[in-house]
Amino acid sequence: MTSIKKNENAIIVGAGIGGLAAAIDLRLNNFEVSVFEKLDKPGGRCHQTVIDGFKFDTGP
Distance in angstroms (rounded) separating the CA atoms of residues 22 and 15: 10
Residue 15 lies in a domain: yes
Residue 2 lies in a domain: no
By CB atoms closer than 10 A (0-12, 13-18, 19+), residue 31 is middle
User: What residue numbers bound the domain in which 30 lies?
Assistant: 9-58
Distance in angstroms (rounded) separating the CA atoms of residues 13 and 33: 11
This prediction's pTM: 0.73
Domain count, the chain: 1
Q: Look at residue 48 and give its three-state secondary structure.
A: strand
Predicted confidence (pLDDT) per residue in 9-60, tens digit: 999 999 999 999 999 999 999 999 999 999 999 999 998 999 999 999 998 7
Residue 1 lies in a domain: no
Residue 44 lies in a domain: yes
